[in-house]
Amino acid sequence: MITRRAANAGLISSAFASAAPAFAVQEKERELPPPRMQGGKPLMEALKLRRSTREYADKPLPDQVLSDLLWSAFGVNRPSGDRTAPYWRHIMVIDVYAAMANGVWLYDPKRHALLPHLPADIRAQTGTQDFVGGAPLNLVYVAHGERMKDVSEADRRLYASVDTGFIGQNVYLFCASEGLASVFRGAVDYAKLNRAMQLGPEQFVTFAQTVGYPRG
Ligand SMILES: Cc1cc2nc3c(=O)[nH]c(=O)nc-3n(C[C@H](O)[C@H](O)[C@H](O)COP(=O)(O)O)c2cc1C
Mutate to test the pocket of ligand 1, among 49, 54, 169, 184 (most ligand atoms within 8 A of CB): 184
Q: Which pLDDT tens digit goes with each residue over 112-145?
A: 999 999 999 999 999 999 999 999 999 999 999 9
Determine phi and psi for 77, rounding to 5 degrees. Answer: -120, 10
For residue 180, the 8-state DSSP code is -
pLDDT of 30 reads 86
CA–CA–CA angle 92, 95, 100 (5° rounding): 165
pLDDT of 27 reads 65
Q: Which pLDDT tens digit goes with each residue over 69-79?
A: 999 999 999 99
As averages over each run of 10 residues, the pLDDT of the chain (216 residues) reads: 34 36 58 95 98 97 98 98 96 97 97 97 98 98 95 96 98 98 98 96 97 95
pLDDT of 165 reads 98
**Sign of the Cα pseudo-torsion (142, 63, 179, 78, in order):** positive
Other beta carbons within 10 angstroms of residue 127's beta carbon come to 24
Q: Computed over its alpha carbons, how large is the radius of gyration of the chain? A: 16
Give pTM, 2 decimals: 0.90
pLDDT of 44 reads 98
Output the residue whose Cα is nearest ligand 1's atom 29. Answer: 184
- Cα distances from 179 to residues 30, 102, 118, in angstroms, run 25, 24, 29
Q: With H, G, I as helix, E, B as strand and everything else as coil, classify residue 165.
A: helix
Binding-site residues, ligand 1, Cβ < 6 A = 51-52, 54, 129, 183-187
